Amino acid sequence: VLVVEKGTAVGGTYAYGTGLAWVPSSRNARDAGVADSTEAAATYVRTASGGRHDESHLAAFLERAPEAFAYLEERAEVPFELIPDYPDFAAARPGGTSGGRYLSSPILAMRERLPAAWRPLLANSAQYRDVPAAWKEIQAWGGFGSLGTWDWDLLGRRVRDEYRGFGSATAGYLLAAALDRGIPILVGTEVSGLLRDAGRVTGARLRDGAGERVVHARRGVLLATGGYDANTELKRRLGSEPDTVPLGAHTVDGSGITVACELGAAFGAMSGQMMSPVYRIPGEQDADGAAYRPFVREGALPGAIIVNRTGRRFCDEAFGAAVSTRMARYDGAGGYPNFPAFVVFDAAWKAKYPLGAVAPGVVPDWLPRADTLEELAERVGVDPAGLVAGVERFNAAAARGEDPDFGRGATEYDRNLGDPDIGPNPCLRPLEPPYYALELRLGTAGTNSGLMTTADAEVVDVRGRPMPGLYAAGNSAANLVGGLFYNSGMANAKGITFAYLAARHALAG
Ligand X SMILES: Cc1cc2nc3c(=O)[nH]c(=O)nc-3n(C[C@H](O)[C@H](O)[C@H](O)COP(=O)(O)OP(=O)(O)OC[C@H]3O[C@@H](n4cnc5c(N)ncnc54)[C@H](O)[C@@H]3O)c2cc1C
Q: Which residues bind ligand X (CB under 6 A)?
A: 4-7, 12-14, 16-20, 125, 127, 167, 190-191, 224-226, 247-249, 251-252, 255-256, 274, 294, 445-446, 474-476, 488-492, 495
Q: Could you tell me the smallest distance in angstroms from the CB atom of residue 478 to ligand X?
A: 12
Question: Which of these, 170, 152, 201, lies nearest to 79 by C-alpha position?
Answer: 170
In angstroms, the CA 161 to CA 155 distance is: 10
Least Cβ distance, residue 249 to ligand X (angstroms): 5
Q: How far is the CB of 287 from ligand X (least distance, A)?
A: 12
Provide the β-strand partners of residue 215.
204
Is residue 213 within 8 Å of residue 192, measured between CB atoms?
no
For the bound state, the minimum distance from the C-beta of residue 454 to ligand X, rounded and expressed in Å, comes to 18
The nearer residue to ligand X, 344 or 355, going by C-beta atoms, is 355
* Cβ-based nearer residue to ligand X, 338 or 492: 492
- Please give the helix or strand (H or E) that residue 70 lies within, else none: helix 55-76
We find the least distance from the C-beta atom of residue 28 to ligand X, in angstroms, to be 16
Closest CA to 468 of 281, 192, 275, 202: 202
Q: Which helix (H) or strand (E) holds 294?
A: strand 289-294
Give min distance, CB of 502 to ligand X, in A: 12
Closer residue to ligand X, CB minimum distance, 145 or 254 = 254
Q: Please say whether the beta carbons of 191 and 256 come within 8 A.
A: yes
Q: Where are the alpha helices (DSSP H) in 355-489?
A: 373-380, 384-398, 412-417
CB of 491 to ligand X, least distance (A): 4
Residue whose CB is less far from ligand X, 15 or 455: 15
The helix (H) or strand (E) run that includes residue 57 is helix 55-76
Nearer to ligand X, 7 or 303 (CB): 7
Q: Could you tell me the CA-to-CA distances from 268 to 220, 306, 379, 461 in Å, in that order?
A: 22, 34, 44, 11
Alpha-carbon span 78 to 175, nearest angstrom: 9
Output 255 or 416, the one with its CB closest to ligand X.
255
Report the residue number, 102 or 394, with the smaller CB distance to ligand X.
Answer: 102
Neighbours of 372 (CB within 10 A): 14
CA pair distance 43, 36, nearest whole angstrom: 12
